[in-house]
Amino acid sequence: MRRKFLCAAAIMLCIAMLFSSCAFGADDETVTAPSENYTKKTVKESKDGIDISASYPETGASNVNAIIASEVRKNIDSFKKEADDYLSANAATCALNIDCEISPNGENILNVCYSVKSEIGSAVKESRFARAYNIAEDGLYGIKDFFAPDDEAFLQTLNRCVRESLTAAGALGETPDAEALNSGAASDGFFGSFMFMQDKFVFVFPAGQLAEQSVTAEVPLSSFDGKVKPGSPSIKDYSQLETAESIHADAPAVEETTAEETTAEETTEKETTEEETAAPVNDGSKKIALTFDDGPGPYTDSILEALKQVGGKATFFMVGTSVKAYPEQVKHVYEAGCQIGNHTYDHPTLTKCSDDKINKEVSQVQELVEKLTGERPKLFRPPGGSRDEHVRGLVNMPFILWNVDTQDWKYRDSDYVYNYVMKTVDKGDIILMHDIHKTSAQAAVRLIKELSAQGYELVTISELFEAYGPPLVKGESFYAVTGNTWK
């Protein structure tokens, strides 16, 4: 059962990799279908016998845009690689077409169904996959956002409803892959490709996951008896959704400071790099970066102790208010050889701040940390991942995001966080947690021990990028090392 799930997940991953997309290095760019919440962009590129056309949404949410761009780009890049290989031995035309159908659900949810068609010589492959973007929280919905971590009944209902829907549509034939669902092997990871409509989930299984072709199953929300999502984002009452701002609900309150104004960091030249998309260096190493935001706090020392036991390091993106409240812990982090990053003074959404405010938010933390450790942070993580070109121009450090989001601040459940990381972890990952929550620190202590036992090397962000690339550039965003995708 476990093996089947892994198999399906691997197939899904391969399919996801097949669809890469994006505007990078495209010859031609058009924007169509403007709406209040998004625009649909189309990029076209034609070069060396390879024709590529990709349409995808661009939203007002920066992290969502980064997720979309990454997924589209990965698809394009892996197609190009395949096409190049083919063209080196054959004369033919290769084409990739990525299109998307956008279905907003209210203002805060954007559902997108992508269709991907690739032609390499005479081989034509078609598939579809879907994503539900959470515009309000600037992230991607996983099916786990709709049920409590231990709610097995939800998965069983989901499994049954999907099976019924596919059977009714005659989509579940006698193909071996249909067995995965028939045997009840499905789990949350199995349901990664879905849209969240007003009254139903729509699951779009990519070609090869359940059948040779993509198949679609609709599951009405009413199937879940209104018990769909205890402790998770609400389906109906979206206003009760915990926002990124609430991360700080339990952070120590600190009085206003009156630090003198300074500009963020001194300006240095900014370059754009062509990111590589090959897998991280295959040298047998398994380096990953654990990152802890919003601290330090009363639990930080327990994480440092666990790291020490295994000779591991981590990166702490500190906020100024916590630095002031827990100066000893700042020193401990530094003395442990861990990396300290800047996460602003009091965690505002930077895209809504004046230049003055942004400069202050950043420089205050630089100074506070320097006073305590003698060193200024060299990495920046914007609160909530929120950033735009303007913000990136002002803060002259690399913007370090993440590719594994534990959502620990939302679940506050150490088992959930532990299991989520153990299930998704891969070399090169940047894992996001918050050391201000006891449950997160408890999960981290277990994770550090187990990851290390499994041969993972826990390194700082700088060490991770030095080992696996790409080079860190000031003012640019990095959510993963080469080859890693958001998960």
Angstrom distance (rounded) from CA 460 to CA 337: 9
What are the residue ranges of helices labelled H in 109-189? Answer: 152-168, 178-182
**Residue 53 phi, psi (nearest 5):** -135, 130
- CB of residue 251 vs Zn ion: minimum separation in angstroms? 9
- CB of residue 348 vs Zn ion: minimum separation in angstroms? 11
- CB of residue 336 vs Zn ion: minimum separation in angstroms? 21
Contact, 177 vs 15, CB < 8 A? no
Structure tokens at 146: 């709709």
- Cβ nearer to Zn ion, comparing 224 with 317: 317
Q: How far, CA to CA in Å, does 4 sit from each of 153, 180, 213, 487?
A: 20, 6, 19, 20
- Cβ nearer to Zn ion, comparing 294 with 408: 294
- Cβ nearer to Zn ion, comparing 53 with 364: 364
Angstrom distance (rounded) from CA 14 to CA 112: 19
- Residues 414-453 close enough to bind Zn ion by CB under 5 A: none
Nearest position to Zn ion, beta carbon: 293
- CB of residue 6 vs Zn ion: minimum separation in angstroms? 33
- CB of residue 273 vs Zn ion: minimum separation in angstroms? 26
Stretch that binds Zn ion, among 201-209, 285-293, 448-456, 465-473 (CB under 5 A): 285-293
Stretch that binds Zn ion, among 144-152, 194-202, 288-296, 391-399 (CB under 5 A): 288-296
- Residues 94-113 close enough to bind Zn ion by CB under 5 A: none
- Cβ nearer to Zn ion, comparing 377 with 383: 383
- Cβ nearer to Zn ion, comparing 294 with 346: 294
- Work out which of 119, 177, 294, 408 binds Zn ion, going by CB under 5 A: 294
Burial of 63 (0-12, 13-18, 19+ CB in 10 A): buried
Angstrom distance (rounded) from CA 384 to CA 470: 23
Angstrom distance (rounded) from CA 311 to CA 321: 29
Give me the DSSP letters along 399-432. EE--SEE--HHHH--HHHHHHHHHHH--TT-EEE
Angstrom distance (rounded) from CA 463 to CA 287: 9
Angstrom distance (rounded) from CA 66 to CA 461: 19
Which amino acid would we find at residue 342?
N
Q: Is 474 helix (H, G, I), strand (E, B) or coil?
A: coil
- CB of residue 409 vs Zn ion: minimum separation in angstroms? 8
- CB of residue 346 vs Zn ion: minimum separation in angstroms? 10
Q: Is 293 in the site for Zn ion (CB under 5 A)?
A: yes
Active site residue 343: no
Which of 145, 188, 293, 435 is catalytic? The answer is: 293
Stretch that binds Zn ion, among 291-299, 324-332, 418-426, 468-476 (CB under 5 A): 291-299
Site map 377..416 versus Zn ion, x via CB under 5 A: ------x---------------------------------
Stretch that binds Zn ion, among 18-26, 30-38, 179-187, 286-294 (CB under 5 A): 286-294
- Cβ nearer to Zn ion, comparing 349 with 462: 349
- Cβ nearer to Zn ion, comparing 53 with 321: 321
Contact, 350 vs 386, CB < 8 A? yes
Q: Residues with Cβ < 8 Å from 18, sequence gap 6 or more?
A: 75, 78, 79, 116, 118, 125, 127
- CB of residue 386 vs Zn ion: minimum separation in angstroms? 10
Determine the size of the site formed for Zn ion (CB under 5 A): 3
Structure tokens at 37: 């919440």
Which of 151, 434, 435, 437 is catalytic? The answer is: 434
- Cβ nearer to Zn ion, comparing 208 with 297: 297
Stretch that binds Zn ion, among 99-107, 292-300, 333-341, 475-483 (CB under 5 A): 292-300
Angstrom distance (rounded) from CA 63 to CA 477: 10
Give me the DSSP letters along 189-221. GGG-SEEE-SSEEEEEEPTTTSSSS-EEEEEEG
Active site residue 294: no
Stretch that binds Zn ion, among 38-46, 186-194, 201-209, 375-383 (CB under 5 A): 375-383
Name the residues that contact Zn ion, by CB under 5 A. Answer: 293-294, 383
Catalytic residue ranges: 293, 434
